[in-house]
Amino acid sequence: MKLSENWLREWVNPAATIEQIAERLVMGGLELEIEPAVAGRATQVVVAKIVEAERHPQADRLQVCKVDAGTGALLQIVCGAPNARPGIKVPCAVVGATLPGGMQIGEAKLRGVESFGMLCSASELGLAEKSDGLVELEADARIGMSIDDYFDLDDHILNLEITPNRGDCLSVVGLARDISALYGVPLKRPTPQQTVVEGHEQIKVEIESVDDCPSYVGRVITKLNAKARTPDWMRERLRRSGIRSIHPVVDITNYVMLELGQPMHAFDAGKLSGNIRVRRARDGESLQLLNEQTVECRDRELLISDDGGPIALAGVMGGLDSGVQAGTTRIFFESACFAPTAVAGTGRRHKLFSDASYRYERGVDPALQRQALERATQLVLQICGGETHPVTQAGRSQPEPVNVRVRRSRIDQVLGHEIPAKDVETLLGRLGIALRAEVGDAWMARVPSHRYDLRIEADLIEEVGRLYGYDRIPARPYQAQLAPSQRAEAARPLIAVKQHLAARGWQEAISLAFVEPGLQTALDPQAAAIALDNPIADNLSVMRTTLWAGLIPAWLYNRARQQDRVRLFEAGVCFALDNGSVVETSRLAGLAAGRALPEQWGSANRPVDFYDLKAEVVSLFGNAAADYRFEAAEHPALHPGRCARIVRGDQACGWIGELHPKLVGTLDLPEAPLLFELDWTTLRSVGVPKAAALSEFPSSRRDLAVVVAESVSGEQLLTCARQAAGELLSEALIFDIYRGTGLKTGEKSVALGLLFNNVSRTLTLSEIDTAASAVTQALTRELNAVIRQ
């Protein structure tokens, strides 16, 4: 939200610079920045009147104007603006002026005609990014007056980022209230003029549920001047608040919203049929909005309707058919309070974002509607004229009071500093909070209706600390005594795993938990993804079920920026549905693509393969590496012959493999990356390291070549050998695999290395032969292996 400093100082004017006020507001919990009213200030630009305008003799699109700039003599200025005509008042940069951007104005000759100055558009003065013609000023603008003074450009803009709980600050009066409380200076409250009711026309209002709409007031105003123009001072204040001038009545509703914080809407009363009703949507209803978007009303959304059907999406946007247009002479003003729960989500469901819904979702003062209506009526009569009619009111006349009990002892305990009771009463009193002393050290506080965020004792304590000044509360040592906890030796922290991967050349990626649904479906088609009701973007509309859905886009982003060798890992939470409940699973995943090794002279350039990635994954297992197995299995997103399921004991804990060729084509990827994903709960436990004695006795090795079917994995061979050899076998390994001449199709020859050792004695030849024989028999019996001679 943006607000003008000069507008703000009309309500509260502490003896402080704007920088000091901004710093005080930041310390009071409001985030903001200071911006200039215009990007650059012009010099020697004054109000001038075009007295004569004739076509340029050498150019059809130029006019030679005689201009009264208050210099005592008419200036001849050549102008190409389409709206330059006699009788209008416009900004004029005289000879010697400087425009924003540094442009100097001097005497010039355009197509043979001398020109002594320049008539200015809004963009040339820095008042707009683009404009179609000259700025047309009010008829009563004083000729010769500086444009700086006319537009009050000696100003600053406060650009505020309001937190969701401080909806009361989304207006000039709301921010002024906070400044008044922070500085302890009085708040100026302009007294609105009493409206004289001349007519008797009323439109009845019915509210279906006062919980959805606690208060609704409206008024008919007729005989408006359809040719009225929004005055420059209002246009400029709206511009500085980031709102474009549209129509005098619409501008007034926006002005009142910025000034008082009450969103308003104006209906063309001539287009309304019957009474106004505030109700929930019915099945099949639709509405064409002011932005010409047609929405299907659903989920019992709150609507404003007449006898003919919906005319507005309550608290969000009005309907096109009943909107105010250039020829409107009869209007019905709406000033309502809609409950945050009744409006929240409606705009996001339809991808509509309005200033009104932004305020209603945070809470609008339920006692403000009548005051805002009177202020809007006053401005309409001032700008458009017209005849006023009686106010129609529905809902609660007064909001229900909110009382909160607050204890002085609790204030001291929470803030860690003793604040005198008199100061507490003074500070809360600045916010309009009335305190009534109770027995003991407590007060009963009555919260003003505009403070939606003050509902419990802690809220009031926060206000005391905020107004007292957190910088005045001295720092003290913590009084709590916390015993340091010791991490279990068998469990390792996540940071240790991250450091391990980083040391091996991997880089951590942090991606959003929201992912593109098509990519996720391709990677994890069996999982039920959770769709978001309000996605931040169309391509981020589901919760991730696999970390790969974030790693692949991150890899493509880096590869497009000449990073051919990529090693990315991510630790995060994945989400899935289980019988209607959301289940969160912590996982660790990685992606490898490009060369196996950095470019160098010592090794040939080859792409990373399955076994490179497997070595990285095995290194993560640490002391528990022997507990993990890699089993051949099929995953819908991985290459059928180049993937494996990772198992620990009887529990499947992850996958590793190369992306499926079909997905590489479907997703239009430049190559097939290698991926792994592990369940963090199974990876976290590494076991306690155990000391083992080094044998002083020699080892004996037996090499064994066996012919087995292609379907037999190396893991099966090693497991079978270890189980059959018993305690004498210290190590089993595969050192060669052969396929080719001498073997049948579907067979392979695997060479096993068996190392036998004992830590207490030298093994005999008989013991070694017996163990080796047991291995060959087990391989033959269990895996149909044939000893290769």
Binding-site residue numbers for Mg(2+) are: 453, 459, 462-463
Q: Tell me how far apart the alpha carbons of residues 27 and 21 are, in angstroms, rounded to a whole number.
A: 10
Q: Which residues of 646-675 are buried (b: 16+ CB within 10 A; e: fewer)?
A: bbbeeeebbbbbbbbeebbeeeebeebbbb
Q: Which strand (E) or helix (H) includes residue 521?
A: helix 517-523
Q: Which strand (E) or helix (H) includes residue 76?
A: strand 75-79
Extract the tokens encoding 219.
């008024």
Q: Tell me how far apart the alpha carbons of residues 709 and 781 are, in angstroms, rounded to a whole number.
A: 14
Q: Tell me how far apart the alpha carbons of residues 546 and 579 are, in angstroms, rounded to a whole number.
A: 19
Q: Which amino acid is at 716?
A: Q
Extract the tokens encoding 342.
């009744």
Cβ-based neighbours of 262, under 8 Å, separated by 6 or more: 171, 256, 335, 364, 365, 368, 369, 371, 372
Q: Tell me how far apart the alpha carbons of residues 614 and 642 are, in angstroms, rounded to a whole number.
A: 11
| Cβ 566 vs Cβ 553: under 8 Å | no
Taking alpha carbons only, the member of 607, 629, 786 closest to residue 709 is 786
Q: Tell me how far apart the alpha carbons of residues 455 and 445 are, in angstroms, rounded to a whole number.
A: 10
Extract the tokens encoding 346.
């409606």
Quickly count: other Cβ atoms within 10 Å of residue 762's Cβ. 13
| Cβ 751 vs Cβ 735: under 8 Å | yes
Q: Tell me how far apart the alpha carbons of residues 348 and 360 are, in angstroms, rounded to a whole number.
A: 13
Taking alpha carbons only, the member of 686, 673, 685 closest to residue 569 is 673
Taking alpha carbons only, the member of 399, 393, 257, 272 closest to residue 324 is 272
674-679 β-sheet, strand order: 507-508, 566-578, 581-593, 674-679, 651-659, 638-648, 628-632
Cβ-based neighbours of 610, under 8 Å, separated by 6 or more: 642, 643, 656, 657, 658, 674
Q: Tell me how far apart the alpha carbons of residues 25 and 27 are, in angstroms, rounded to a whole number.
A: 5
| Cβ 157 vs Cβ 35: under 8 Å | yes
Q: Would you say the C-alpha torsion 778, 779, 785, 788 has a positive or negative sign?
A: negative
Q: How many helices (H) and strands (E) does the chain have?
A: 21, 37
Burial degree of 616 (CB within 10 A; 0-12, 13-18, 19+) = buried
Q: Tell me how far apart the alpha carbons of residues 80 and 56 are, in angstroms, rounded to a whole number.
A: 10
- Detail the residues annotated as belonging to a binding site: 453, 459, 462-463
Quickly count: other Cβ atoms within 10 Å of residue 643's Cβ. 23
